[in-house]
Chain A
Amino acid sequence: QKEVEQDPGPLSVPEGAIVSLNCTYSNSAFQYFMWYRQYSRKGPELLMYTYSSGNKEDGRFTAQVDKSSKYISLFIRDSQPSDSATYLCAMSGQTSYDKVIFGPGTSLSVIP
């Protein structure tokens, strides 16, 4: 079993839709949870960053962490064609020096 699982997609939605992206993990030591966005042939860039459980909102993006279920989500409201990218969840352990483990990524296309 991989440490971090993520549905690879591809996921295709119409412009304006609400998008839900999810990851599950097996290591209960993970404390830091991140979402990175990667455009085609570019490096990943940090989108959201949360510590432990709870929700965090930033504009059209909301990150949720449920440590009891070992499940994290990223919601995108009013999706735009510019949101078309691969979304990678990532997590790390007790200290910020712990290595960062990435999910395989979900490819998202937002159709105008």
Chain B
Amino acid sequence: NAGVTQTPKFQVLKTGQSMTLQCAQDMNHEYMSWYRQDPGMGLRLIHYSVGAGITDQGEVPNGYNVSRSTTEDFPLRLLSAAPSQTSVYFCASSYSDVWANVLTFGAGSRLTVL
């Protein structure tokens, strides 16, 4: 039981490049989400999904795209990287009932955009 697995752990991009952060969970959780963590800002919700085929925007969705084709996977795409997207990205999942807001986090993906 691996929990929530994120890849890559580290990535350096140039401005304008695109990339995909991968997130997979093996707990059969229906709810999955992406957060970014910046100093002094806490965790901010980018996008979330309540099940396969269903996604919605969070607080800071601009510049990011998601899809949910399976229960297990929830990739986050950066369409055209900008220095403002330099951050640590966390994927999180939870059961989609009473405990939907009790999140299990991955270890994070540290992204630098030059």
Q: Which A residues form the contact surface with B (CB < 8 A)?
A: 4, 6, 8, 32, 34, 36, 41-46, 49, 88, 90, 92, 95-100, 102-105
Q: Interface size for chain B: under 10, 10 to 19, 20 to 34, or 35 or more residues?
A: 20 to 34
Known pairs A46-B103, A102-B43 / 19 extra A-B pairs, C-beta < 8 Å: A8-B40, A32-B101, A34-B101, A34-B102, A36-B103, A43-B107, A44-B105, A46-B104, A49-B102, A88-B43, A90-B101, A97-B50, A97-B96, A97-B101, A98-B101, A100-B101, A102-B35, A102-B44, A103-B42
Residues of chain B having any CB pair with chain A under 8 Å: 4, 31, 35, 40-45, 48, 50, 58-59, 90, 92, 96-108
21 example contacts (A-B, Cβ-Cβ < 8 A) are as follows: A4-B42, A34-B101, A41-B108, A43-B90, A43-B105, A43-B106, A44-B103, A46-B104, A49-B102, A90-B43, A95-B100, A96-B98, A97-B31, A97-B50, A97-B100, A97-B101, A98-B101, A99-B45, A99-B58, A100-B45, A103-B42
